Structure 1
Amino acid sequence: MSAAPKVDAALWRTAFVLVLGTFMATLDSTIVSVGVEVLAERFDAAVTDVQWVSTAYLLAVVAAVPASGWLANRFGGRRTWLAAVVVFVLASVLCALAWSLPSLVAFRVLQGLAGGLLPPTGQALLARAAGRERIGRVLAVVSVVPLLSPVLGPLVGGSVLAVADWPWLFAVNVPIGAVAVLLALRAVPAAPPAATRTPFDARGALLLSPGLAVLVFGLTGLEGGTPPVVSAGSIAVGAAMLVGFVVHGLRTTRTPLVDPRLFARPPFGVAALALVLLGASVFGTMFLLPLYLQGAGGLTAWETGLLLAPQGVGAAVAAIAINRAVVTAPPRTLVLTGIVLVAVGTAPFTQLHHDLPDVAVALSLLVRGAGAAMIGAPVMNIVYSRIEPAHLPGAASALNLLNTLGGSLGTAALAVVLQARLDTRGPDASAAFADTFWWVLALAVVAALGATRLPRPEAPGRARIPNEPTTASASRNPSEKDPADA
Structure 2
Amino acid sequence: MSTEIISANRPAATDGLPAERRKWAVAAIFTALTMASLDTAIANIALPAIAADLRAGPADAIWVVNVYQIAVVATLLPLAALGEIVGHRRIYLGGLLLFTLASLACACAWSLPSLLAARALQGLGASGIMSVNTALLRYVYPGRLLGRGIGYNAMVVATAFTLGPTIASGILAVGPWPWLFAVNIPFGLAAMAIGARTLPTTPKATHAFDFPAALLAAGCLGLFMLGVGGAAHHERTALVVIELVAAVLLGWILIRRQADHPAPVLPMDLFRRPLFALSTATAICSFGVQGLSFVALPFYFEDILGRSQVETGFLITPWPLVVAIMAPIAGRLSDRYPAGILSSIGLALLGVGMALLAMLPANPYIADIIWRMALCGCGFGFFQAPNMKALMSSAPAGRSGGASGIVATARLVGQTTGAALAALCFGLAGRDGATISLVLGAAFAAVGCVMSSLRLLAREQ
Does the TM-score normalized on the shorter chain lie above 0.5?
Answer: yes
Task: Please name the residue that 2:253 is paired with.
Answer: 244
Task: Please name the residue that 1:181 is paired with.
Answer: 192
Task: Please name the residue that 1:204 is paired with.
Answer: 213
Specify the code of the residue in structure 2 equivalent to 1:83: G
After superposition, what is the alpha-carbon deviation per residue over 1:299-320, rounded to whole angstroms, capped at 9, x for unaligned? 34x6544432212221122124
Match of 1:56 among 46, 67, 72: 67
Displacement after TM superposition at 1:158 (Å): 2.0
After superposition, what is the alpha-carbon deviation per residue over 1:68-94, rounded to whole angstroms, capped at 9, x for unaligned? 222222322212211111100111111
Task: Please name the residue that 2:52 is paired with.
Answer: 41
SS in 2 for 1:30: helix
Distance change in 2, residues 1:140/1:89 (3 Å): same
Aligned partners of 1:353 and 1:104: how far apart in 2?
45
Aligned partners of 1:241 and 1:149: how far apart in 2?
34
SS in 2 for 1:435: helix
SS in 2 for 1:66: helix
Task: Please name the residue that 1:395 is paired with.
Answer: 403
Aligned partners of 1:270 and 1:61: how far apart in 2?
24
Aligned partners of 2:439 and 2:37: how far apart in 1?
27
**Conservation of the 8 A alpha-carbon contact between 2:146 and 2:389:** yes
Structure 1 position 263 matched with structure 2 position 263? no
Aligned partners of 1:355 and 1:212: how far apart in 2?
43
Structure 1 position 191 matched with structure 2 position 192? no
| Identity in percent | 26
Distance change in 2, residues 1:347/1:266 (3 Å): same
**Conservation of the 8 A alpha-carbon contact between 1:155 and 1:306:** no
Distance change in 2, residues 1:239/1:387 (3 Å): closer
Task: Please name the residue that 2:455 is paired with.
Answer: 454
**Conservation of the 8 A alpha-carbon contact between 1:17 and 1:184:** yes
**Conservation of the 8 A alpha-carbon contact between 2:291 and 2:415:** yes
Task: Please name the residue that 1:432 is paired with.
Answer: 433
Displacement after TM superposition at 1:328 (Å): 0.9
Displacement after TM superposition at 1:362 (Å): 2.7
Aligned partners of 1:169 and 1:24: how far apart in 2?
11
Task: Please name the residue that 1:445 is paired with.
Answer: 446
Match of 1:87 among 69, 83, 98: 98
Task: Please name the residue that 2:4 is paired with.
Answer: none
SS in 1 for 2:264: coil
Match of 2:345 among 337, 342, 366: 337
Aligned partners of 1:353 and 1:96: how far apart in 2?
46
Aligned partners of 2:422 and 2:253: how far apart in 1?
27
Structure 1 position 378 matched with structure 2 position 386? yes
**Conservation of the 8 A alpha-carbon contact between 2:282 and 2:448:** yes
**Conservation of the 8 A alpha-carbon contact between 1:138 and 1:323:** yes
Aligned partners of 2:289 and 2:20: how far apart in 1?
34
SS in 1 for 2:233: coil
Task: Please name the residue that 1:286 is paired with.
Answer: 294
Displacement after TM superposition at 1:111 (Å): 0.7
Aligned partners of 2:23 and 2:158: how far apart in 1?
19
Match of 2:38 among 6, 27, 34: 27
**Conservation of the 8 A alpha-carbon contact between 1:150 and 1:283:** no
Specify the code of the residue in structure 2 equivalent to 1:11: R
Distance change in 2, residues 1:356/1:432 (3 Å): farther
Aligned partners of 1:152 and 1:42: how far apart in 2?
25
Distance change in 2, residues 1:44/1:359 (3 Å): farther
Task: Please name the residue that 1:224 is paired with.
Answer: 233
How does 1:274-353 map onto structure 2 within 5 Å? 274-293=282-301, 297=306, 299-300=308-309, 304-351=312-359
Q: Which has the higher helix share?
A: 2
Distance change in 2, residues 1:286/1:179 (3 Å): farther
Task: Please name the residue that 1:478 is paired with.
Answer: none
Displacement after TM superposition at 1:43 (Å): 1.9
Aligned partners of 1:434 and 1:353: how far apart in 2?
12
Q: TM-score scaled to structure 2, two decimals? A: 0.89
Specify the code of the residue in structure 2 equivalent to 1:354: A
**Conservation of the 8 A alpha-carbon contact between 2:25 and 2:195:** yes
SS in 1 for 2:189: helix
**Conservation of the 8 A alpha-carbon contact between 2:154 and 2:384:** yes
User: Structure 1 stretch 324-333 or stretch 221-230: which is displaced more?
Assistant: 221-230
After superposition, what is the alpha-carbon deviation per residue over 1:252-309, rounded to whole angstroms, capped at 9, x for unaligned? 4464212324223210111011111122122332232235456665634x65444322
User: Structure 1 stretch 394-403 or stretch 351-360: which is displaced more?
Assistant: 351-360
Aligned partners of 1:137 and 1:432: how far apart in 2?
38
**Conservation of the 8 A alpha-carbon contact between 1:132 and 1:385:** no
Unmatched tracts of structure 2, length 5 or more: 1-15
Aligned partners of 1:388 and 1:326: how far apart in 2?
19
**Conservation of the 8 A alpha-carbon contact between 1:135 and 1:385:** no
After superposition, what is the alpha-carbon deviation per residue over 1:14-57, rounded to whole angstroms, capped at 9, x for unaligned? 32321222211121122222222222211222211111111111
**Conservation of the 8 A alpha-carbon contact between 2:263 and 2:399:** no
SS in 1 for 2:232: coil
Q: CA RMSD in A?
A: 2.5
Specify the code of the residue in structure 2 equivalent to 1:377: A
**Conservation of the 8 A alpha-carbon contact between 1:20 and 1:176:** yes
Specify the code of the residue in structure 2 equivalent to 1:218: G
Aligned partners of 1:175 and 1:304: how far apart in 2?
33
After superposition, what is the alpha-carbon deviation per residue over 1:174-195, rounded to whole angstroms, capped at 9, x for unaligned? 122122112213332233533x
Task: Please name the residue that 1:215 is paired with.
Answer: 224
SS in 2 for 1:116: helix
**Conservation of the 8 A alpha-carbon contact between 1:284 and 1:414:** yes
